[in-house]
Structure 1
Amino acid sequence: MRIVLLSLLSCLALSACQPGTDAPTQTTPAEAVKTPAESAEKLQVKAVVVAMFEIGEDEGDRPGEFQFWKERYGLTEKYPFPHGFHDLYYNPEKGVLGMVTGMGIARASSAFTALGLDSRFDLTKAYWLIAGIAGIDPQDGSIGSAVWTDYLVDGDLAHQIDAREIPEDWSTGYFPLFANEPYPEQEGEVVARNGEVFQLNTTLVDWAFNLTKDIELMDTDAMLALRSKYTEMPAAQLPPKVLRGDHLSASTFWHGKLFNDWANDWTAFWTNGKGNFMTSGMEDTGSYQALTYLDNAGLADKKRVMVLRTASNFTMQPTGMTAAENLASESSGAGYAGMLPSLEAAYTVGSTVIDEIVLNWDKYQDTLPGQQ
């Protein structure tokens, strides 16, 4: 979601290209607005679909992460959500709720907490699908791909020394919180004590990946042209597909080979070598931290959380181009070849999983997929 968002911010003056604001979304004639009085009995929610941003309106214009879900999944009942970033939308036949958190860790964690404490909804059995766009490491995959996440790694909790002042033998001036140098050797495994890393329910991730791994994803000539520039990275040249990897969340829209190397090292350190950095985004460690607290309070089940990140852009430049040149080319003209395909992938892959859960609710209400 990194490079793409820079382009979105650059076109704030254009009404057709504005990210969602804090103002409630206007109700269309087809929407039924639910007031607190009408919602005295808690809704038993089967699944919550979570997007991070929308562009302009929720329907009928240039799509962001939420629009396909709103238009195609029957999210017609509106629940005002003044204590969150964006109003909630619900499909009463399927029992699926849609939420837009707003961009960034702070907005995401606040939105999850607000929803979890909302007395209108019973979320104790709900499955959570966080579905949004991301950057992808071209060493591991191609734009337009959909990646199911095992580890969520936080890229903000750190110590930092300016690059102009770091010791000559250090690989980076950005190193783990409470350490005195990059990647200090540990006796035994590295232990995350401050939310530096979270591991999702492996059984659920296995199930979601196996259910969707053979789905054919959208490909275009523009994507092929961009892929062909990554001549030294075979994985980047492949058509998009459903993959499995690990996600790094950080509030800075970083880009380039050196940061990409850092992301791989950072992920390997915090997962004790078990994880592999594949996608970059912003919100997910904050989202999952909030869900962990809701789980502690008995208001949600963190074992039912899935994160699906789809690749809108590469996290580093191809051979023969600088990071700055690559960033500029993606942010102007006909950049972001993977934007629309990544949004399509998020809906196509994500809705397959949500449909399976909803259609077989008698099986999945009390027993998680893969545990039957």
Structure 2
Amino acid sequence: MRLLTRAFMLVAAALVVLPAQAAVPDVNAIAACVPGGPCAHPLPVRVVIVTMFEVGKDTGDAPGEFQYWKERRHLDTRIAFPQSHHDLWYDPKTQTLGMVTGMGSIKSATATLALGLDQRFDLRRAYWLVAGIAGIDPAKGSVGSAAWARYLVDGDLAHEIDAREIPKDWKSGYFPLHNHGIKPGAPPVIDGEVFEINGALRDWAFALTKDIKLPDDPGIQAERARYTDTPMAQRPPFVLKGDHVAAMTFWHGKLLTEWARDWTAYWTQGKGEFVTSAMEETGSYQSILYLDRIGRADKDRFMVLRAGSNYTMQPPGLSAADNLKRENEGYSGMRAALESLYVVGAKVVDEITGHWERYEKAPPK
């Protein structure tokens, strides 16, 4: 009898320490809430997947940035989002929300702010993962490679004079506000030209994913073989750390890649290193900063992952103009970059949503 009693007590004790399963949110509870209006029962969100564009439909055709997340992460619950570019999709089990902001910093900023102010969602502890394709500097990485950023540098806030009229000792006619040419030294004013996101979170995400084997294919193998003077460009896809320039102009070429390197070094005071180029991050993160001020988001839970779909400059033996024309016919690394974004990003999403008790109160370090 004593043995039975003791056994019962041990089992009962074990049951007490087992973590309780989180209740699955009732998505129907927000059905009566008007987008942007008051909502008594907001949906809890652990991770927001931020993509910028989709090609055609959300599923079943040629993929854009959102499709793999939609199909593979069970983002099956559609939520109307008329105040922005694209409806939202939600998985109640993992409390993951997927969004498509639209291309460009204006759309990414307004979509992020619109979501953050929407009272149908509780985003106070949500992690934000920006996952998008990018141009990649062949001196730093290869098509298909995925880079975690710390510095987000705006490439639009600037002065410009026509390249045909620049002084002979200038490298570029595109130069920082409050300065003449990209000169050494600290920038005199910083007002949205550069953002530093949570470096500890970036390093944690990189450590978690750095050994992942990324997909490779004959198409990107042929593309990287053309870059005979840059060893990093010839590597199979890999995960790295590197910073990001966001500009609304789709620029390309050797000279503009040199500009991006100098631009990043200038605005980060030598701490950052240009690796990827796209359009949106400075807009989306600016909105996160505003939302953080009113407790609607946590700026320290924002991550940027960009994968190279193309190189930012031409290979030896080809002009920038000819290479840009070739790229406009289709990025050789598009599919590989989308796969890399998903494989790498999903590792982080799984870790956060699967061990929420570790990450709910504070970001990892």
TM-score (ref. length: structure 2): 0.89
- Give structure 1 stretches of 5+ with no counterpart: 1-30
Aligned residue identity for 2:293:
N
Instruction: State the Cα distance separating 1:40 from its structure 2 match.
Output: 4.0
**Is the contact between residue 30 and residue 120 of structure 2 (CA under 8 Å) also seen in structure 1?**
no
Corresponding position of 1:65:
65
Corresponding position of 2:286:
289
Equivalent position SS for 2:165: coil
Instruction: State the Cα distance separating 1:248 from its structure 2 match.
Output: 0.2
Q: Structure 1 residues 143, 359: CA separation in 2 closer, same or farther (over 3 Å shift)?
A: same
CA distance, structure 1, for counterparts of residue 278 and residue 336 of structure 2: 17
Give CA deviations for 1:13-41 in whole Å, capped at 9, x if unaligned: xxxxxxxxxxxxxxxxxx98963449640
Corresponding position of 1:182:
181
Corresponding position of 1:237:
234
Instruction: Tell whether 2:104 aligns with 1:104.
Output: yes
Corresponding position of 2:352:
357
Equivalent position SS for 1:253: coil
- Please say which structure displays the higher CA radius of gyration: 2
Q: Structure 1 residues 281, 361: CA separation in 2 closer, same or farther (over 3 Å shift)?
A: same
Aligned residue identity for 1:138:
P
Instruction: State the Cα distance separating 1:98 from its structure 2 match.
Output: 0.5
Q: Structure 1 residues 275, 72: CA separation in 2 closer, same or farther (over 3 Å shift)?
A: same
Corresponding position of 1:19:
none
1:39-118 to structure 2, matched below 5 A, reads: 40-118=40-118
**Is the contact between residue 89 and residue 98 of structure 2 (CA under 8 Å) also seen in structure 1?**
yes
* Seq. identity, %: 56
1:263 aligns with one of 256, 260, 265: 260
**Is the contact between residue 46 and residue 95 of structure 2 (CA under 8 Å) also seen in structure 1?**
yes
CA distance, structure 2, for counterparts of residue 292 and residue 128 of structure 1: 12
Instruction: State the Cα distance separating 1:194 from its structure 2 match.
Output: 1.5
Q: CA RMSD in A?
A: 1.5
Aligned residue identity for 1:121:
F
CA distance, structure 1, for counterparts of residue 33 and residue 112 of structure 2: 23
Instruction: State the Cα distance separating 1:167 from its structure 2 match.
Output: 1.3
Give CA deviations for 1:32-71 in whole Å, capped at 9, x if unaligned: 8963449640111111000000000000000000000010
CA distance, structure 2, for counterparts of residue 100 and residue 290 of structure 1: 15
Corresponding position of 2:156:
156
- Give structure 2 stretches of 5+ with no counterpart: 1-26
Instruction: Tell whether 2:31 aligns with 1:35.
Output: yes
1:242-321 to structure 2, matched below 5 A, reads: 242-321=239-318
Q: Structure 1 residues 326, 82: CA separation in 2 closer, same or farther (over 3 Å shift)?
A: same
Instruction: State the Cα distance separating 1:297 from its structure 2 match.
Output: 1.3
Give CA deviations for 1:101-156 in whole Å, capped at 9, x if unaligned: 00001100000010010010110100000000000000111000010001000000
Give CA deviations for 1:313-359 in whole Å, capped at 9, x if unaligned: 00000001000111122222xx4221001001111100110110001
CA distance, structure 2, for counterparts of residue 92 and residue 254 of structure 1: 40
Corresponding position of 1:3:
none
Corresponding position of 1:220:
217
CA distance, structure 2, for counterparts of residue 34 and residue 72 of structure 1: 24
Equivalent position SS for 2:242: strand
CA distance, structure 2, for counterparts of residue 278 and residue 95 of structure 1: 32
Equivalent position SS for 1:94: coil
CA distance, structure 2, for counterparts of residue 230 and residue 146 of structure 1: 18
Instruction: Tell whether 2:336 aligns with 1:337.
Output: no
Aligned residue identity for 2:288:
L
Aligned residue identity for 2:198:
N
Instruction: State the Cα distance separating 1:178 from its structure 2 match.
Output: 2.2
TM-score (ref. length: structure 1): 0.88
1:185-200 to structure 2, matched below 5 A, reads: 185-186=184-185, 189-190=186-187, 192-200=189-197
**Is the contact between residue 192 and residue 270 of structure 1 (CA under 8 Å) also seen in structure 2?**
no
Equivalent position SS for 1:164: helix
**Is the contact between residue 42 and residue 122 of structure 2 (CA under 8 Å) also seen in structure 1?**
yes
Equivalent position SS for 2:133: strand
Aligned residue identity for 2:217:
T
Give CA deviations for 1:137-181 in whole Å, capped at 9, x if unaligned: 0011100001000100000000111112111111111110122x1
